């Protein structure tokens, strides 16, 4: 799927109320470049893509957020708008088996609930983009997780740090339940959160400390599609270009949020010290 550049170019020009000549002058290109791209007669170069989208973001036009609003307004019942941050691009059909086996819930196709959430994870990659997805949840079985012991231990298993307990009945039940569905809705666990879970699995903190530390760094929810039936009900509807200045903007937001989250984690460890159970007590 390519970028919807010709419509984006028209939209940017329309929002700023500029003629093709005026926009061309501001971008430092010829008017015919704008005209031919708006008509779809030219394939935009990488340089022109960056010029146009970077210019729009400098002018305070958050085009991709506007698209998020418009797509959300036009959803049918039983449909949800989701977002997938890709380090490069999606080639071919959506694939359940392209991802790593040691993701939060094993292999599957992962998506998030908001554009801002999706971009925050891939803003450090040069050729990254964000895809908009239309998900129809009709007649599908969902497994939903909250920030609790079940979620922590399930993620620990799929991320490969529960090997010594994998034959335990509690762990076996967790894994069975995590696959008895078409798709999963669960809190996102980034690498920083996984370090906290690892501290719990390593016996450094209790389940109660871990839960509150993780709640302090909540990043929103992710959708994980694990059945062929579910992935067939996910449709790619748009691919969004992310300019360098937009990436930097969201990278800075995430840096600020990380600092606040780290301070909350320290506070939660102190406040809930001695409360709850350690991993060897749970799986004794």
What are the pLDDT digits (tens) for 77-107?
889 999 999 988 888 889 888 777 788 899 9
Per-domain residue ranges of the chain: 1-61, 78-282
**Per residue in 108-153, pLDDT tens?**
999 999 888 888 888 888 889 999 999 999 999 999 999 888 998 9
pLDDT at 256 over 80: no
- Given this model, what pLDDT does residue 136 score? 97
59 membership: H or E segment, kind and range: none
Indicate the CATH number of 1-61 among 3.50.50.60, 1.25.40.80, 1.10.260.40, 1.10.1740.10: 1.10.260.40
Q: What's the mean pLDDT in 179-198?
A: 87
pLDDT tens for each residue of 36-79: 999 999 999 999 999 999 999 999 999 999 999 999 999 998 89
The residue with greater pLDDT, 261 or 269, is 269
Q: In what order do the strands lie in the sheet with 234-241?
A: 142-144, 183-187, 221-225, 109-112, 79-86, 129-136, 234-241
Give the Å distances, CA to CA, from 63 to 57, 69, 96, 170: 8, 10, 30, 47
pTM: 0.89
- Does the CA dihedral 231-237-243-246 come out positive or negative? negative
Contact (Cβ atoms closer than 8 angstroms) between residue 211 and residue 148: yes
Percent of the chain whose predicted confidence (pLDDT) is above 70? 95
Q: Does residue 268 carry a pLDDT above 80? A: no
Percent of the chain with pLDDT over 90: 57
What integer is the mean pLDDT of 160-183? 92
Task: Write the CB contacts of 199 (distance below 8 Å, at least 6 apart in sequence).
Answer: 205, 210
Number of DSSP helices (H) and strands (E) in the chain, helices first:
13, 7
pLDDT for res 218: 66
Residue 42, C-beta contacts closer than 8 angstroms, at least 6 positions apart: 33, 36
Note whether 118 and 213 are within 8 A (CB): no
CA 157 from centre of chain: 21
Report the pLDDT value the prediction gives residue 57, as an integer from 0 to 100. Answer: 96
pLDDT, residue 260, reads: 60
The two structure tokens encoding residue 106:
């094993």
């Amino acid at each position: 799927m390519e970028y919807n550049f010709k419509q984006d170019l028209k939209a940017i020009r329309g929002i700023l109320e500029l003629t093709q000549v005026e926009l061309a002058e501001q971008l430092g290109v010829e008017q015919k470049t704008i005209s031919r791209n708006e008509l779809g007669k030219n394939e935009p170069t990488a340089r022109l893509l960056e010029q146009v989208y970077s210019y729009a973001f400098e002018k305070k036009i958050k085009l991709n957020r506007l698209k998020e609003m418009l797509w959300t307004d036009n959803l049918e019942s039983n449909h949800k708008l989701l977002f997938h941050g890709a380090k490069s691009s999606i080639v071919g059909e959506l694939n359940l088996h392209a991802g790593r086996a040691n993701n939060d819930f094993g292999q599957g196709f992962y998506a998030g609930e908001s554009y801002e959430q999706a971009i925050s994870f891939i803003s450090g990659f040069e050729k990254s983009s964000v895809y908009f997805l239309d998900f129809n949840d009709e007649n599908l079985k969902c497994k939903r997780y909250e920030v609790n012991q079940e979620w922590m231990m399930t993620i620990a298993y799929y991320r490969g740090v529960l090997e010594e307990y994998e034959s335990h009945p509690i762990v076996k039940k967790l894994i069975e339940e995590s696959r008895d569905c078409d798709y999963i809705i669960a809190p996102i666990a980034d690498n920083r959160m996984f370090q906290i879970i690892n501290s719990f699995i390593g016996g450094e903190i209790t389940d109660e400390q871990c839960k509150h530390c993780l709640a302090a760094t909540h990043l929103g929810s992710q959708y994980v599609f694990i059945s062929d039936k579910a992935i067939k009900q996910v449709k790619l509807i748009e691919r969004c270009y992310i300019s360098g200045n937009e990436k930097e903007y969201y990278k800075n937001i995430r840096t600020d949020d990380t600092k606040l989250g780290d301070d909350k984690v320290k506070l939660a460890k102190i406040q809930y010290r001695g409360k709850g159970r350690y991993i060897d007590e749970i799986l004794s």
